């Protein structure tokens, strides 16, 4: 416990890249901060920063220490959550890194349902691509991740998975609107909007297009916002692509969705998971169980 403030200083220096900049950020003199770091290194028995001509950076020992800091902070948060649960307070905090598709409808509904029973629990929800979500789990910045097609899954423990076919979003009067399902070759003949190449939807479209001769994903509009692409379709007769868990056309009277043929494009895999080997705080573990049931 007595080292918690030192840990805060160490992380501050690591993020700032120099003791002088960190001291300004944390409202402490550079000499005092340097003494705290030196004293910690003396007690620790190893240097944790590599001193550079224009700053500092963590050395391998420092990287190991940083992982310990984040792990200890996570364990302490879990302990507080467990104590609160014993006392009946039912407090805690849940941090989630998720794909954009979960933001409009699925997660708001699930979080609201959870907070009706546990109003003392707070949430942080951040849109992250699959690479950033895995990184946040490993850094203890997020407790839970819900992402399509995680990149490496080295530290990603999958607790639940579902498949999601890609849907085409278009105006109700579009020439393809009367098809029950849409072939990829037909869809890409029309002007289309597509996400950038770091998103699972684009990766699946590109992979499928390469199997078809003369077919390319050549978007007229490219964006990192699925909401933007969907709403843009109301202004121009252009199609876009999205996973259905992020779609609710109730308030989109001029737009419809149709699935892409699975024989052309493989469905996406939505994974719900956490950092491998981590024991989540009580609130996060309970919300995880709720998500598994909902999915």
| CA R_g for the chain | 24
- Residues making up the chain, counted from first to last: 295
pTM of the model: 0.68
pLDDT for position 2: 55
Those residues with Cβ within 8 angstroms of residue 124's Cβ, 6 or more apart along the chain or in another chain: 93, 94, 95, 96, 142
Count Cβ atoms within 10 A of the Cβ of residue 295 and give its class: 0-12 exposed, 13-18 middle, 19 or more buried: middle
Fold match between domain 4-58 and domain 166-266:
no
Phi and psi torsions of 143, nearest 5°: -85, -40
Phi and psi torsions of 178, nearest 5°: -90, 5
Token pair for 169: 């979003």
pLDDT for position 45: 84
CATH class (in words) of the domain with range 90-159+271-294: alpha beta
pLDDT for position 294: 92
Per-residue pLDDT of the chain (295 residues; tens, 9 = 90+): 556 677 788 888 888 888 888 888 888 888 888 888 888 888 888 888 888 888 888 888 888 888 877 777 777 776 776 666 645 446 688 999 999 999 989 999 999 999 998 998 999 999 988 888 888 888 888 999 999 875 556 778 889 999 999 999 999 999 999 999 999 999 999 999 999 888 889 999 999 999 888 889 999 999 999 989 988 988 999 999 999 998 887 777 889 999 999 999 999 999 999 988 888 888 899 999 999 999 8
pLDDT for position 38: 86
Q: What single-letter DSSP state applies at residue 244?
A: G
pLDDT for position 282: 84
Segments in the chain forming alpha helices (H): 4-16, 19-25, 30-44, 60-87, 106-117, 130-138, 184-187, 200-210, 226-232, 282-294
> Do 66 and 75 touch, CB atoms closer than 8 A?
no
DSSP for 47-74, written as a single string = --EEEETTEEEE-HHHHHHHHHHHHHHH
Where do the domains of the chain lie?
4-58, 90-159+271-294, 166-266
Distance CA 239, CA 171 (A): 8
pLDDT for position 53: 82
What fold characterizes domain 166-266? D-Maltodextrin-Binding Protein; domain 2 (3.40.190)
pLDDT for position 206: 93
Distance CA 125, CA 134 (A): 15
Helices 4-16 and 30-44: crossing angle, nearest 10°? 120
**Beta pairing, strands 92-98 & 144-148:** parallel
Instruction: Please give the CATH architecture assigned to the domain spanning 4-58.
Output: Orthogonal Bundle (1.10)
Token pair for 118: 């546990």
Count Cβ atoms within 10 A of the Cβ of residue 60 and give its class: 0-12 exposed, 13-18 middle, 19 or more buried: exposed
pLDDT for position 287: 95
Q: How many Cα atoms are found within 13 Å in the side-chain-facing hemisphere of 154?
A: 4
pLDDT for position 130: 80
């Amino acid at each position: 416990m007595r080292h918690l403030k030192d840990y805060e200083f160490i992380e501050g220096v690591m993020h700032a890249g120099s003791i002088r900049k960190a001291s300004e950020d944390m409202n402490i003199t550079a000499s005092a901060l340097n003494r705290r770091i030196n004293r910690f290194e003396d007690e620790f028995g190893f240097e944790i920063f590599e001193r550079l001509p224009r700053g500092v950076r963590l050395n391998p020992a420092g990287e190991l220490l940083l992982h310990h800091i984040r792990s200890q902070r996570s364990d302490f948060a879990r302990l507080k959550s467990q104590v609160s649960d014993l006392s009946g307070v039912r407090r805690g905090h849940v941090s989630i890194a998720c794909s954009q598709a979960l933001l409009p409808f699925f997660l708001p509904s699930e979080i609201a349902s959870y907070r009706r029973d546990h109003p003392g629990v707070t949430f942080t929800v951040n849109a992250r691509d699959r690479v950033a979500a895995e990184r946040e789990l490993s850094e203890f910045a997020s407790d839970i991740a819900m992402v399509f097609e995680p990149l490496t899954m080295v530290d990603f423990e999958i607790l639940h998975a579902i498949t999601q076919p890609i849907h085409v979003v278009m105006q109700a009067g579009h020439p393809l609107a009367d098809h029950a399902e849409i072939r990829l070759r037909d869809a890409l003949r029309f002007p289309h909007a597509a996400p950038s190449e770091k998103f699972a939807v684009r990766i699946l479209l590109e992979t499928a297009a390469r199997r078809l001769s003369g077919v390319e994903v050549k978007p007229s509009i490219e964006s990192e916002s699925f909401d933007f692409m969907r709403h843009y379709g109301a202004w121009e007769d252009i199609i876009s692509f999205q996973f259905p868990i992020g779609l609710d056309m109730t308030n989109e009277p001029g737009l419809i969705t149709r699935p892409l043929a699975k024989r052309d494009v493989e469905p996406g895999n939505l994974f719900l998971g956490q950092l491998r080997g981590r024991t989540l705080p009580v609130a996060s573990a309970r919300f995880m169980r709720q998500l598994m049931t909902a999915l």
